[in-house]
Structure 1
Amino acid sequence: MSCLAILAASLTAWVPAWGQELIIEEIIVTASKRAQTLQEIPIAVTVVTADVMEKAQINDIQDLQSLVPSLKVTQLQTSGNTNFIIRGFGNGANNAGIEPSVGVFIDGVYRSRSASALADLPNLERIEVLRGPQSTLFGKNASAGVISVITAAPDLNGYSGSASVTVGDYNEFIVKGDITGPLSDTVAFSLSGNSNTRDGYYTNLSDGAKLNEHNRWGVRGQLLFRPSDNLEFRLIADTEEIDEVCCGVSNLVNGPTGGIIAFIGGEINPEDPFSRSQYYDFNPTNEIENSGVSLQIDYDWESVTLTSITSSRTMDRFENADVDFTSARLISSNSGDTEISTFTQELRLTSTGDGSVNWMVGGYFFDEEIDIANTLYYGDDFRAYGDALTNVLSGNAINLFPSPLDGLEFALGMPPGTFFASGQGRTEFGGAENQAFSIFGQVDFDLGDRTTLTVGANYTEDEKDTFYNETNTDVFSAVSMVAVGFGGAFAQITGLPPTPANIAANQGAAAIAAAISTTDCTPATAPNCNAALALQPLQFMPPFLAYPNAVEPGSSNDDQVTWSVRLAFDATDSLNIYGGVSTGFKATSWNLSRDSRPFEADIPAIIAAGLVLPNLNSGTRFAGPEDAIVYEIGLKARFNRSTVNFAIFDQEIEDFQDNLFLGTGFNLANAGIRSTTGAELEWNWSATDALQLAFAATWLDSKYDEFTNAEGPDGPTDLSGTKVPGVPELSINTSAIYNFELGASTSGFVRVEYIYEDEVQINANVPPEVASREISTFNASLGLEWDNGFQVMLYGRNINDDDYLLSSFPSVAQGGSVSGYPNVPRTYGLTLTMNFN
């Protein structure tokens, strides 16, 4: 007997029959780009229906994680800096040059950055979350998984629609509406819109402003044209906007720089991460405008369907944040302006016959242009802050009159007030052009009445051309601290600034100064010979070597073949067992930011080409492609009153593109090997005609198998063998819905939900005793519905007011300090809905 048959027999005996009446609804999914039932598709996929999302008060993709334990969504310093993570894998939030590892598709159209998929989603049909690499059918940016959002299509059969109003605490006010119906026998339309506003739950103690608000709206229109039974056109246009004051940061640890902030007259928040209050000298702003149009054409022959999906999208994103997180005006601007234009075209042929072989072939083209304009300027108080830090960092060795910076400026022959002047900083310009194409195919072979072999392959080629440049007015960051050692000695001996004329006129003093600053040591590596070397951490904005240049072309060209093989066995009419191997691919990601640095291997060539700049440091320009592979076995069982889905897997990404914040910037690097071994369980049971229970759990063992070139705040470090931060071992979601009748015309429901994540270290560079996370949250809702279509629902989220941190990081330019982002506190509200047909 085969292994699959033995496993099938065992599981059939283990899973009970829950009753004779068919209660569990059959769900149709398109995760494999063809219609299949959820229970027969040999892929680990979670489906969340519109009804469940409504009763759980899920308004956007960010909230979806409360229903899918394997999905995590983290929001960082702005509304658009959001990471989607599946099975512990995900990236791409903080840099437009880093594409996400989790692909988001809305009605078959790829959203290339997470910021373009954050708006509220009215008139949904369902959301499918595909876990594990999906590159065979979804292309280059699905190395960790896919979130596929399917909205309701226009209805040719009659008019229907709904309108709803939600009011809640923090002055929440949400309005949604949709309508659909026929315009003729062959044309139907739908129109939906939403507006979502809410005051912030976070307070700026400097001016009383509320942060972490909601202020977003969107409109979506569709036309469906079906001129014949075998031809259909679906045109979709949407536009949406987010304009919010977000996001508040809390202090976990106030380091020694907190005293300096107080000394110069600034205020800094106490070490209370859940006070949800902070001092800012200006409020963070976030603006995202996202719009697009797509056309899907389906033409059916007798046994083949041709599908074409064409889309054009634009996203404009602007943000400005006070990243010093104090009332002192250390930073006057830290803005980012990003524009992304994307065009995609997909063509595929799908067999529709009932034979023993079913197949699909297709091609995909992707064209994207990115333009970036960023700023980072010092504020009025940074000069005083820099003066104090100069004293501290040099151990009072540079304690000159009338101030340390005045003394340094005199020693270097510069006018007073040259260093850290208000308005100094950098203005950056960058961008990228990306073209990619792929061809793909998949075949299902029926190897008998109960066994199906699925084989698929994808060839992808990806080409990127990038550039980045800046205008830099930060004088201090361009100073050679080795020269300060000589210049300081010369000024002390002669009382004159070390200008070329003074050095020429005082060659004896110059020789003594050189001897003092170099005797018995090399200033660049021996701080005891040159106190100015201790000031190098204050050189926040060193000159940037623009690229492309004579050494660095600023381009990449990647190609890869990904594949998948799965075997599915229908052990009984109710039980399907599957196993398989799938691979994934993500192309090179470019560091389109001020943190981009030449690779160390390129420095000699840069010097030889005469391109070297003062204080030029090595780092990374890009992270090479990442390759994923997953080995997975699972079962899907569907009985009269229950469904059970279970999977165990071993997933690995080689050269995972890791982008870690170190306190003054991000470091983009390839982690050699990162893996996750895990198990996932989803169970739904209609215990009675009125009571439905659901339980979902994910267990993950996620680690860096090899990451020898990691960077920490104190320099290079080896993370090999360590746990991946922010990935809990155990995540659980369980819920119960009780439906009831109140007379002949009124029905209702009560839904309760519990979410649990065990404790996990959040950041590899922040000790777990400082920043860890454990989640234990309850949500609930109560609804009534009348036969005329009127509904009332009362809801509460995080009703036990559970406090936890979403993320943490070393504070910006404040050594020894740690900051973090707290979760949303308890919220509640009331929704009134009118449905009509």
Structure 2
Amino acid sequence: MLSFRFRVAGSVAVSMLALSWATAAQAQDVPQDKPAPDTQAPGTPAATSQAQPFDTRGDIVITAQRRAENLQDVPLSVAVIGGDKLTSLKFNETSDLQYMVPSVTLTNAAGPRNFGFFIRGIGTSTFSSEAIEGSVAYVLDGVVMGQAGASLGDLPDIERIEVLRGPQGTLFGKNASAGVVNVVTKRPSKELTGNASVSWGWPDNDRRFSAYLSGPITDTLRFSISGRRNKRDGYVTNMFDGRKLNDRDDWGGRAKLEWEPTANLTLTGIADYYKRDSSCCVWTLYSVGTPPGAPELIQIAKGIKPGRDNLDQDINGNVFSNAKGKGVSLQADYRLGGFTLTSITAWRTWETTDGLDSDSAPINLLDVNYAHFTQSQFSQEIRLASPTGKLIDYVLGAYYFDADVNSRSTQIFATVPLPFFNRRAHITSDSRNMALFGQANLNISKSFKLIGGLRYLKDRVEAAKDRQDPAYHLTDSDRKAEQSYALVWRAGAQYDITKDANVFATVTRGFKGGGFDTNIGVRTLRYVKPERPTNYEVGLRTYWPDARVTFNVTAFYTHVDNYQTAGRDPVTATYPIVSSEAKTKGVEFDLGWRPIAATDLNLVLSGSYVDARWGDFPNAPCFGGQTVAEGCVPAPGSPAGSPGVQQNLTDAPLPYSPKWQLNAGGSYGVDLSSRLKLQFDLSASYRSSQLIAFPNNPRTRQDGYVLVNGAIALASGKLWKLSVYGKNLLDEHFAVTMFSTPFGSARSLSQFRPYESQRSAGLSLDVGF
């Protein structure tokens, strides 16, 4: 055992403008006129998001089903982002995925322990991350990250990112009940190559530097090494002392060695390290209830104006969020007779230390809210992929995962004279997951196949919590363990209408392991049942070579039993976990078009309609200040006159899920001479109104908005490129989450605004050889 996230009319107008211009980093790349470079994953055919010629139908090759396949042939809803698209508009953080892939949202507030992806409205974000994991798996070069917060960082040397929407537990490691973000970094090259990039952005002095070098050491041994440094001033002003909060200061590197001792064997070793120090993550006042609480009165007296535009805070305590992660992995691919045997052995650790003056006031109500969190994991995966083109082809494998978490937290409610409102907690957790899995295609004919997959797993989690109250000299503790078995499965069929069009239908049963609510506000460890989604999908994949058009569409319906979600309790300032039902249905589409074959003009349009709702959820917690008239009622069986404690959210909309998301973009290149090229990139991302708080509070509904990003670059081949770029050009102000203001009026609200919620612009220089 180891010790260890305009309005509708305006959006349509901007989207059409983007299409008429020219591709930004969107969810699908459009075919180009040149073959892709040799950047495949070890042991597979060319796996790259770079486009292929239209007449070869070699659009995008991905590994979403653990083998290299053409995107058009994969019976899944997959969005693919190429590394070149990430760099063209200077998208380089995990959180940027929400602006590029429809159906994806996230929460990213109050530090990385509370980070979480949401796909099709389904996701988990909680401070009880010692024993509760996210619903969206984040996979880096074949290795599943055991903590969602460990994925919150930058995106260097990326080959491509595959976003798999819907349950993916059959083939992917664990806890992929809502989907998978599969990140593939660049493979070491056979020729010496290198590049470097430096940029400066306004406002807040956003400075970024990265470098990459790759090439051969011998005829059979290749290497790659990358490094980056990012620094940005804070964008929230603290009125108490003038500090600039919510800044960024991080650096990291990755090294790879790839050895091919024989023609049939490839060994790939990877080591990476990442560190971020920041004065993060501070919220600001959005609205004030009646009567105002002490924090609101003080802030208003200082001249702070509550509202969406507010980027001012007034606190006297410390604010810091320092995180670091590192890992090593060894992948072996052995090929014989058309079979490929793959082994991935990995060890990773992630550590975060965060402290946040959480009282929204320059007085000591909750100045001390501190946690030190360490997670370490070991994983081993072995799988066998058969040859394709026969009656049956398959992928079989075994998986083992072991993670330990150790956290220490301190909260001091200085003015609350009650037991355990001055508390120190030591929490440990150990989770183990073992599984056997397989997926096969029965090729009835060249045009029709049946799809079947199974994963049998054992999931065990144990946790311990010890609390101390230094003021009252009290202690308490709890220790619990739970174990569950599950059979995850997938069944479906796929039919090729023509060589360039196919339809499919699948049914998938997923699983996300149970855990414990490690909330330090209470003594007990409450067990949270495993999450069990069932997903139905029907899809159409088409390719029109004469028109140079790719069009894909997927319809889905998902029902989730024991949906794990968390919301802030405004009275105890804790984040309890509740289990409920959730259901989501909708349609996703991707359109790529190259209007004129002889010109460097590419257009894309992708989007989703998602109707995500609670299922049976009659005992949901009330939101802050909710009245009886608004649906906050006593629990059944309570004495007459009891205060309201629950609301009925059955069939109500899920938060963090806009019904409509649209991404439009294009790129256009003009040759000025044989050596110089002018490149234009433009993108527009629209999301409709959504609730951004749990439990559902109608006052947290955020109007729809459009984000427009653009870049103009002058380049001389791969030698150099000088760019001017802009993000959020319409200066749309938005928040990613809201909650009741700590120590404020019950009906007051605070918001967390990300850096991207304001206009920014910059210059960058890229050089290479």
Unmatched 5+ residue regions in structure 2? Answer: 1-31, 34-52, 624-643
Q: Distance in 2 between matches of 1:288 and 1:441?
A: 36
1:592 maps to 2:518:
yes
Match for residue 410 of structure 2 among 367, 375, 396: 375
Moved more, 821-830 or 287-296: 821-830
1:181 maps to 2:111:
no
Indicate the SS of the match to 1:32: coil
Q: 1:675/1:771 Cα in 2 relative to 1: closer, same or farther (>3 Å)?
A: closer
1:567 maps to 2:493:
yes
Aligned to 1:45: 78
1:123-177 C-alpha deviation (Å, 9 max, x unpaired): 111000000000001143100000000001112x210010110111111110000
Counterpart AA for 2:340: T
Q: Distance in 1 between matches of 2:334 and 2:499?
A: 33
Q: Distance in 1 between matches of 2:762 and 2:143?
A: 33
Counterpart AA for 1:711: P
Q: Distance in 2 between matches of 1:277 and 1:565?
A: 53
Question: How far has the Cα of 1:788 moved from its partner?
Answer: 5.6
Q: 1:266/1:251 Cα in 2 relative to 1: closer, same or farther (>3 Å)?
A: closer
Q: Distance in 2 between matches of 1:791 and 1:25?
A: 28
Aligned to 1:272: 307
Q: 1:222/1:347 Cα in 2 relative to 1: closer, same or farther (>3 Å)?
A: same
Q: 1:208/1:25 Cα in 2 relative to 1: closer, same or farther (>3 Å)?
A: farther
Indicate the SS of the match to 1:579: strand
Question: How far has the Cα of 1:270 moved from its partner?
Answer: 3.5
Question: How far has the Cα of 1:770 moved from its partner?
Answer: 5.1
Question: Aligned ranges for residues 290-439 of structure 1 at < 5 Å?
Answer: 290-379=325-414, 382=415, 419=417, 425-439=422-436
Q: 1:679/1:272 Cα in 2 relative to 1: closer, same or farther (>3 Å)?
A: same
1:622-651 C-alpha deviation (Å, 9 max, x unpaired): 210010111110111122211111000111
Contact 2:693 2:700 in 1 (8 A): no
Match for residue 719 of structure 1 among 633, 649, 652: 649
Contact 1:765 1:809 in 2 (8 A): no
Aligned to 2:671: 741
Indicate the SS of the match to 2:122: coil
Question: How far has the Cα of 1:761 moved from its partner?
Answer: 2.4
The aligned length equals 689
Question: Whose Rg is larger?
Answer: 1
State the identity %: 29
Question: How far has the Cα of 1:765 moved from its partner?
Answer: 4.2
Q: Distance in 2 between matches of 1:769 and 1:317?
A: 33
Aligned to 1:660: 567
Q: Distance in 2 between matches of 1:474 and 1:702?
A: 46
Match for residue 449 of structure 1 among 437, 446, 452: 446
Contact 1:622 1:669 in 2 (8 A): no
Indicate the SS of the match to 2:327: strand
Aligned to 1:671: 579
Question: How far has the Cα of 1:88 moved from its partner?
Answer: 0.6
Question: Aligned ranges for residues 159-238 of structure 1 at < 5 Å?
Answer: 159-169=192-202, 170-238=204-272
Q: Distance in 1 between matches of 2:725 and 2:429?
A: 45
Match for residue 638 of structure 1 among 543, 555, 562: 543
Question: How far has the Cα of 1:117 moved from its partner?
Answer: 1.2
Contact 1:180 1:189 in 2 (8 A): yes
Q: Distance in 1 between matches of 2:454 and 2:297?
A: 63
Indicate the SS of the match to 2:742: coil
Contact 1:120 1:218 in 2 (8 A): no
1:547 maps to 2:457:
no
Counterpart AA for 2:457: T
Match for residue 703 of structure 1 among 595, 605, 613: 613
Contact 1:24 1:642 in 2 (8 A): no
TM-score by length of 1: 0.79
Q: 1:463/1:596 Cα in 2 relative to 1: closer, same or farther (>3 Å)?
A: farther
Indicate the SS of the match to 1:308: strand
Counterpart AA for 2:311: R
Aligned to 1:690: 600
Contact 2:669 2:679 in 1 (8 A): yes
Indicate the SS of the match to 2:149: helix
TM-score by length of 2: 0.86
Contact 2:275 2:324 in 1 (8 A): yes
Q: Distance in 2 between matches of 1:313 and 1:171?
A: 32
Aligned to 2:95: 62
Q: Distance in 2 between matches of 1:168 and 1:39?
A: 38
Q: 1:658/1:769 Cα in 2 relative to 1: closer, same or farther (>3 Å)?
A: closer
Q: Distance in 2 between matches of 1:47 and 1:64?
A: 11
1:796 maps to 2:701:
no
Aligned to 1:809: 739
1:104 maps to 2:104:
no
Aligned to 2:526: 621
Q: 1:818/1:474 Cα in 2 relative to 1: closer, same or farther (>3 Å)?
A: farther
Indicate the SS of the match to 2:95: helix
Indicate the SS of the match to 2:170: helix
Q: Distance in 2 between matches of 1:266 and 1:330?
A: 18
Aligned to 1:729: 659
1:783 maps to 2:690:
no
Q: 1:261/1:70 Cα in 2 relative to 1: closer, same or farther (>3 Å)?
A: closer
Contact 2:294 2:743 in 1 (8 A): no
Q: Distance in 1 between matches of 2:408 and 2:80?
A: 39
Question: Aligned ranges for residues 67-78 of structure 1 at < 5 Å?
Answer: 67-78=100-111
Contact 1:115 1:288 in 2 (8 A): no
Contact 1:690 1:740 in 2 (8 A): yes
Q: Distance in 2 between matches of 1:188 and 1:665?
A: 53
Aligned to 1:10: none
Question: How far has the Cα of 1:666 moved from its partner?
Answer: 4.0
Aligned to 2:640: none
Q: Distance in 1 between matches of 2:610 and 2:300?
A: 44
1:170-220 C-alpha deviation (Å, 9 max, x unpaired): 111100001011111111111001111011111111111111211111110
Contact 1:199 1:214 in 2 (8 A): yes
Indicate the SS of the match to 2:621: strand
1:329-383 C-alpha deviation (Å, 9 max, x unpaired): 212310011010100000111112531210111000000100010000134xx3x
Aligned to 2:18: none
Moved more, 250-259 or 435-444: 250-259
Indicate the SS of the match to 2:689: strand
Contact 2:736 2:752 in 1 (8 A): yes
1:31-59 C-alpha deviation (Å, 9 max, x unpaired): 00001000001111011011111113210
Aligned to 1:407: none
Question: How far has the Cα of 1:544 moved from its partner?
Answer: 7.2
Unmatched 5+ residue regions in structure 1? Answer: 1-17, 387-418, 479-542, 549-553, 599-619
Moved more, 20-29 or 102-111: 20-29
Indicate the SS of the match to 2:343: strand
Q: 1:670/1:562 Cα in 2 relative to 1: closer, same or farther (>3 Å)?
A: farther
Question: How far has the Cα of 1:593 moved from its partner?
Answer: 2.5
1:144 maps to 2:144:
no
How large is the Cα RMSD of the aligned pairs?
A: 2.4
Moved more, 244-253 or 330-339: 244-253
1:576-601 C-alpha deviation (Å, 9 max, x unpaired): 11111011101112112214454xxx
Moved more, 28-37 or 181-190: 181-190
Q: Which has the higher contact order (CA 8 A, sep 6+)?
A: 2
Question: How far has the Cα of 1:686 moved from its partner?
Answer: 0.5
Q: 1:473/1:253 Cα in 2 relative to 1: closer, same or farther (>3 Å)?
A: farther
1:748-802 C-alpha deviation (Å, 9 max, x unpaired): 2111111111112222546434542422221111112103610111111101100
1:223-275 C-alpha deviation (Å, 9 max, x unpaired): 11110110011000001001011122111223457454588999674423322
1:641-677 C-alpha deviation (Å, 9 max, x unpaired): 1111100011111110011112233454443321001
